Structure 1
């Protein structure tokens, strides 16, 4: 009788808990964002459509002596609230670069070069459609992937066990966002005020000094961030850039070992004598043992995902879809250029650039991700909803041009979502992303655990 062999161990790539939390929040945000988008479209095409435009054009602000800050409600969402969204993006970038998936060259090379292809090819396609029409300046509209919709649709319709594919696409979306934010700050800002920029630079320097002093409390960075937003807003550069800078400048590195080792001592003191003072000291010790950026992201990310982004969709997705509007839009090279650039540009650009990176030996696809998954994810990355609408607001002053661009964004994003979902679901049945054991153990062996023992 044959002796049984050693226990079979399956090593499955495990995504870190922090990334899992981020992905779960983004997936939930996609549902709320979709609902807000539907409400905006219904409202803008209902008998109360005038109320939609009037409501978001309502002025609101604050006055202190001769100083005043006044914006309409849509600008409060686009300029102020969206700064929180971009701060979360910056925090996620900083964390992944510091001690996440972006710290290793081979891990980041393929999605980064894929993102570069997903930036350049859509722009070239858009310019090919709009050359000579006067709409060329809107090329930044097709440069970004909507992370919330991307992750949310992947969670709902993607293949089983898609963690490594999610992480690959999240890395791609982060690099993609860096490019889009840079273009937004450089290309779509005008009437720049040098004194206000000097104040903003001084505040950035102050945050760098806080980092150098190893200040771990969140409050000083938040105060500097609010002042930085005011300075950037006054400078003429789009104020959401302040959110990105805050996210990148808040410390994301792991705490010093002595801070972590001090926590049990303070916790033990609290167990010995449960006074308010010892509770406060234990709380401070615990906070010092967690990266400042992680704590700030935990505070901001739910607000960004479930309040800010849906509000943005509600304020900006309302576009008239009457027969005349649709006829005009789909007869426009602007609308067709945006839609084709989002779907075809991302599919070709991301797949082609990522494949080139693999062929050149610069990196590898993670886990059991295959070229088919790469293609499906690239199509899904054509969902350019949030930042595409955001850039369109900056690029087009004419309401008719803006309406055509929005219809192109909605059309391209919808086609990319449906086509990408179908492709990934079909591929998921043929190219499983789970471990080999998840397809079923060999006859006579017990079921294998999802995670290998330590």
Structure 2
């Protein structure tokens, strides 16, 4: 039997794949998800153990930083939620800026499907929640269901996803980035306290300073870091949630590729160092090399592992500890808050993301990455119902009643578990039936990412 001819180079379709920077980001997020899961289980065990009283007592401990009258005091929970999580949102802002400058968000057709999917994943879950909780104090929780937990989604996809899952990761990563933009905007605009106009004015001046540093082409990190710390203090004093400062710094740091003349300059400094090695020339050569990488990329590389492996797990430990006694579970089983959040995360995201992406695909505004089918899209949309980190974060902002917070937390945990299990089942079934690999890339499955190793330098 005559074999069909192999497609020539002209007939091959170039399939998008994750860039090295995106792969490192995905690998770090996936690795951090394991620690986040351990921290969450530890918090639940601690809060339901004979030593449960020490859980609240520990996170209520006051800590002060300052000198003399210039001091800032908060309990440990707020130091985690307001200060440490600002670093997490800073990394999110840096990733958004990088994707817009050099990543997938540059191409409208690549971003249209996940962007409209993210929009559906913001609006439909909120509508589902408000349908269950249309009024009263509980209605303030509609923002809780508007975020996908990138770490858990990418971690589950790495462990249980189909063969060659990079195409689906690309879609979900872009969706999560756009989703984070929406959730952060809601958090800043809706869940802020009484505003202090003076502090807001100072914040505006500091934002202008960041813009000026970027416009002047300042490549050193120190001016941005100092201005960013001052901005956090001003935003914290203004009544707007302080984590917004982290997002603003991340969005304003330089991220565009360095000009060719800056790259060429490294050869001159390297040549001078080879001719006469001395500490001063070595320092100049080091600075010349550092200047070739945008400030945002350097800061992201420094902070991302700290936030993924440290800040986010500690946040889970500080916020996931809710009592799960029979009375609490019985109340949650009939609570509109718990049921509304669980339904919104599972059903709302599955319907909203699929419908939003369908609009982009049917109108021709966008395309799916090569090899991703409708069935994979629906499985990914189900998996995106895992809402944890930002959902817990907004819970603390939305409710002042401790009972509502407990019911919301149980709803987040229950909805996330259901979404994870349903998403894994769909991915495994569809992964066996439909491959995400292109014909020319089929082969043994890729090794899982090892984020604790530095990426190798290409030859």
Confirm or deny that 1:345 pairs with 2:348.
Answer: yes
Structure 1 CA distance for aligned equivalents of residues 56 and 279 of structure 2:
52
RMSD (Å), alpha carbons: 1.7
Confirm or deny that 1:305 pairs with 2:308.
Answer: yes
Which of the numbers 273, 279, 283 marks the counterpart of 2:282?
279
Structure 2 CA distance for aligned equivalents of residues 285 and 132 of structure 1:
59
Shift of 1:323: 1.0
Shift of 1:427: 0.7
Structure 2 CA distance for aligned equivalents of residues 7 and 369 of structure 1:
20
Shift of 1:418: 0.8
Structure 1 residues 239, 356: closer, same or farther in 2, change over 3 A? same
Q: Partner of 1:68: helix, strand, or coil?
A: strand
Which of the numbers 367, 371, 383 marks the counterpart of 1:368?
371
Confirm or deny that 1:240 pairs with 2:232.
Answer: no
Q: Partner of 2:116: helix, strand, or coil?
A: helix
Structure 2 CA distance for aligned equivalents of residues 6 and 373 of structure 1:
27
1:134 paired residue number: 137
2:117 paired residue number: 114
Matches within 5 A, 1:12-51: 12-51=15-54
Structure 1 CA distance for aligned equivalents of residues 425 and 397 of structure 2:
33
Q: Partner of 1:302: helix, strand, or coil?
A: helix
Could you list the runs of 5+ residues in structure 1 that have no partner in the other structure? 442-454
Structure 2 CA distance for aligned equivalents of residues 8 and 106 of structure 1:
26
Shift of 1:160: 1.1
Which of the numbers 173, 185, 188 marks the counterpart of 2:188?
185
1:96 paired residue number: 99
Structure 1 CA distance for aligned equivalents of residues 6 and 51 of structure 2:
70
Which of the numbers 146, 159, 162 marks the counterpart of 1:159?
162
1:451 paired residue number: none
1:124-147 deviation line (CA, Å, top 9, x unaligned): 000011124531011000000001
Confirm or deny that 1:389 pairs with 2:358.
Answer: no
**What is the number of equivalent residue pairs in this alignment?**
439
Structure 2 CA distance for aligned equivalents of residues 7 and 410 of structure 1:
49
Moved over 4 A (4+): 5-12, 438-441
Structure 1 CA distance for aligned equivalents of residues 218 and 175 of structure 2:
31
Structure 1 residues 6, 151: closer, same or farther in 2, change over 3 A? closer
Structure 2 CA distance for aligned equivalents of residues 120 and 192 of structure 1:
27
Confirm or deny that 1:400 pairs with 2:441.
Answer: no
Q: Partner of 1:172: helix, strand, or coil?
A: helix
Structure 2 CA distance for aligned equivalents of residues 305 and 268 of structure 1:
39
Could you list the runs of 5+ residues in structure 2 that have no partner in the other structure? 445-459
Structure 2 CA distance for aligned equivalents of residues 266 and 7 of structure 1:
48
Structure 2 CA distance for aligned equivalents of residues 264 and 151 of structure 1:
39
1:85-114 deviation line (CA, Å, top 9, x unaligned): 000000000010011100111111110000
1:417-441 deviation line (CA, Å, top 9, x unaligned): 1110110111111111111245579
Structure 2 CA distance for aligned equivalents of residues 378 and 274 of structure 1:
57
Task: Select between 233-242 and 321-330 the one with higher mean Cα deviation.
Answer: 321-330
Structure 2 CA distance for aligned equivalents of residues 438 and 94 of structure 1:
30
Which of the numbers 292, 295, 303 marks the counterpart of 2:295?
292
Q: Partner of 1:135: helix, strand, or coil?
A: helix
Q: Partner of 2:245: helix, strand, or coil?
A: helix
1:83 paired residue number: 86
Structure 1 CA distance for aligned equivalents of residues 168 and 306 of structure 2:
26
- Counterpart contact for 2:17–2:170, Cα < 8 Å: no
1:194 paired residue number: 197
1:320-339 deviation line (CA, Å, top 9, x unaligned): 11111100111111100000
Q: Partner of 2:137: helix, strand, or coil?
A: coil
1:209-245 deviation line (CA, Å, top 9, x unaligned): 1011000111110111000000000000000000000
Structure 1 CA distance for aligned equivalents of residues 35 and 265 of structure 2:
41
1:308-356 deviation line (CA, Å, top 9, x unaligned): 0000000001011111110011111110000000000000000011011
Q: With structure 2 as the length reference, what TM-score do the two structures score?
A: 0.93
- Counterpart contact for 2:15–2:369, Cα < 8 Å: no
Structure 1 residues 125, 327: closer, same or farther in 2, change over 3 A? same
Shift of 1:64: 2.9
Q: With structure 1 as the length reference, what TM-score do the two structures score?
A: 0.94
Structure 2 CA distance for aligned equivalents of residues 409 and 352 of structure 1:
23
